[in-house]
Every structure is written in C-alpha cells, then in structure tokens.
Amino acid sequence: MERERKWNLKSSKRDDSLRCSFCAKAQDDLRKLIGSPSGNPRAYICDECITVCHSILEDDRGTQPSFEIPHLDIGLYPTPIDEMAHLRDALGGGPRLFIKHDDYTGPGFGGNKVRKLEYELAEAQAQAADVVLTVGGTGSNHARVTAALAAHVGMECHLILNGAADATSANYYLDQLYGATIHLVVTRQERRPTMERIAGELKAKGRKPYPIALGASTPLGALGYVRAAEEILATGLTFDAVFHSTSSGGTQAGLAAGFAASKTRVIGVSADDPADQIAARVRKMVEGIGELVKKKLDPRIEVDDRFIGSGYGVATPESTEAIQLFARHEGVVLDPVYTAKAAAGMIARIRAGEFNENQTILFIHTGGQLALFSADNRRS
C-alpha cells in the first residue's frame, strides 16, 4: 500500500500526490516534478534529484583524462580513496594517511596493470592486431592481467615467462585459465629475444602480433598513471607525498608526469632494481609522455631502494611488519612482493619524522595480492 502510494507510476495526471521516483518525496512548492516525455510517464524526477544527478555527472567528467589519446574503457574508475586513521594511530600519530585502492581497478583481479594495458590494447586494436605478446616471470601480475584483458577484448595472448612451470603460483594458474599460450625460458635475458622471435613467426603465418613491453611500461602505457594522478587531483584532496611500489617504472613515470605541476612528491619504493636504474627508466618515459601529451615535463624523480632486502620477492622484517600493520589496523591486505616493501618504505620515513602531523600522505595500493595464494608466500 505504502509502496503503491510512493511510486504512483500509473497515474497519467500530475497532481499534488505525485512523488519523485528516485527520492519518493511528494511535489510541493519547492520541488517540481518532471515526467518522461510520453503522455503516460513511467517515472518522475524532482528538481533536487536532478541537481544530484548533475553533480554525479560532473564528478564523472572530472575523471576523464585531460589528453585525448585512445584507451579502452575496461577498469573501474575512480578507484576509492580511504583514510587510514587506525594505521596512523598505530604508528603513534604523524601525517594523515590515505590509501588509493588501485588493487580494485577491476578485471583480471585488478592492480596497476589494468590502467597501463588500456592504452596499449587500444593501440593494438588501432593497428588491427589479432594477437598480443608480453614478458614476465612465472608469477607475473602483468602477465596475468594481460592474459585476462586479451581474453576480454577477444585477442589471442602469448606469454614469454622466465622460470619453471610453477604449480604453486596463482598468477601462473590464471594465465592458463585465461587461455594464454605460455612459452617458458630460463633467464630474464632470454625473454625479449624470444618474444621477438615468436612475433616474427606469427607474422610469417599471416597474423598481426602486438608485442607489449615488460610491465606495459612505455610512455603510452604510463598514460594510465597520468590519468590516475588526474583522478587524484580531481578529488580536491591535496597530498604532500604519494608512495607506491616501483619496478619497471611505468607507474612512477605516469604519476610523476601527472603531478609535475603540483607540490606533491611522488616517491617510488623499489621492489628490485637499484634507484639509479629505475630513475633513468622513469625519466626516459616521462620524456616520452611529454611528447605524447605535448607538454614540457621536468618532474623530480624520487626512487628509494633501501627496502628491497636480499632481493625481489624475498620478505624482510619490515615488509612482514607492514603486511601485519595494514591487515590488523585497516583490514587492508598488501602483497608480499611489491606493496609490502613500498609500505615498509613509507612507514620507515614516517617513523623517522620526515613528515609532520600537518602533512598528508597517499599510499597507492597497486595490487598483486594473488601472490599470497602462492604456496611459498602464504606465511611470509
């Protein structure tokens, strides 16, 4: 009965008992109701709800990139930003802490690769490619997301992975589930020449291959993180520093380019390579981004390589503590290979007093938690 009165959709006559189909409030002097254009409207909307709809559409417009370079619309943006007040308390105060959940970018179990691959796959489609290839380790997040997105857009996918067939790796399992063809090589150095050879063989068979660089870390792929920086700027929140994990450098290049005109420091914490190597890669990619978006960009590049420990994917006491702190105080799960080390770097700098309580820090969660479901990592 109540429901019938509120929704009153069958009425063809506007009268004072009409209610907005969205908020269910009745028409009054302040609130006018507009029906759909047919003589027998199926729904009404009041002025107040129209204003709300406009502001939602305006917000959405704020998440569109400032540059017009084709990208596929696959991820779920803007990814949420949450405050981590309990983690701040657990660290004994200090700067306000926020987290941007790029682990929630969506398909292929999310993470930072979705944003980069949206640009690379749009270019693959523009070149009428019918097969994509990429490289990584057998536990690679990038390979897994490439396989997932290739399946999503209907392209064949070849992965050139170094390491042994790894029955314990969730990423390796998913690569196969998404239907990728896997080519195993022994060392990292063999990956690229093998990808080039296979691309050549596919071409000779009349196929149109599109090889994607490690981590989709090219100026084109890095545009995904220029877009992420613009998404953050569009919230109106200002950050003194943004911390994230860095390795092949595309995430950092995009963020550094996107924040180049702001006061926000972008601090990449290395998961593997020395700081000078990553910084050189990032600088080169920023130059390429500048050419693509036709802007002169000269951001400061900050890479911290003090939290790698004894190597890529090997836990340190600091990364293990970071996983526990984020899980226990925020209910946020970090991955052991990338984000745990980045978080360890951020926590160490907060504890060292590098940031004060009037400052604000954003941690970008770049995903990778599937590594926790690989047998070796469950307890690290």
Residues forming contacts to ligand PLP in the complex (CB under 6 A) are 111-112, 141-142, 215, 217, 245-252, 335, 338-339, 366-368
- Residue 251 tokens read as 């995430």
Quick one: CA dihedral 9, 15, 17, 20, positive or negative? Answer: positive
Strands of the sheet with 131-137, listed across from one edge:
181-185, 156-162, 131-137, 209-212
- Closest contact distance (angstroms) between CB of 197 and ligand PLP is 24
Question: Is the distance from CB of 140 to CB of 148 less than 8 angstroms?
Answer: no
- 351 exposed, middle or buried (CB, 10 Å; 0-12, 13-18, 19+)? exposed
CB nearer to ligand PLP: give 20 or 330.
330
Task: Find tokens 């925020």 and name the residue.
Answer: 330
CB nearer to ligand PLP: give 41 or 367.
367
Helix, strand or coil, per DSSP, at residue 365: strand
- Closest contact distance (angstroms) between CB of 19 and ligand PLP is 48
- Closest contact distance (angstroms) between CB of 116 and ligand PLP is 7
- 300 exposed, middle or buried (CB, 10 Å; 0-12, 13-18, 19+)? exposed
Which residue type sits at 97? L
List phi, psi (to 5°) of 137: -90, 175
CB nearer to ligand PLP: give 144 or 349.
144
- Closest contact distance (angstroms) between CB of 33 and ligand PLP is 49
Q: How far apart are CA 302 and CA 323, in angstroms?
A: 23
- Closest contact distance (angstroms) between CB of 92 and ligand PLP is 27
Helix, strand or coil, per DSSP, at residue 112: coil
Q: State which residue has the least CB distance to ligand PLP.
A: 368
CB nearer to ligand PLP: give 134 or 251.
251
CB nearer to ligand PLP: give 366 or 374.
366
- Closest contact distance (angstroms) between CB of 373 and ligand PLP is 14
Helix, strand or coil, per DSSP, at residue 185: strand
CB nearer to ligand PLP: give 202 or 213.
213
Determine which one of 21, 140, 217, 245 is catalytic.
140
Q: How far apart are CA 60 and CA 77, in angstroms?
A: 9
Q: What is the DSSP letter of 333?
A: P
HSE, side-chain direction, 13 A CA sphere, residue 115? 32
Question: Is 270 annotated as catalytic?
Answer: no
Beta-carbon contacts of residue 73 (< 8 Å; ≥ 6 apart): 118
Beta bridge partners of 98: 83, 362
CB nearer to ligand PLP: give 46 or 370.
370
- Residue 11 tokens read as 């009425």
List phi, psi (to 5°) of 82: -120, 150
Which residue type sits at 237? L
- Closest contact distance (angstroms) between CB of 93 and ligand PLP is 28
- Residues with active-site annotation: 140
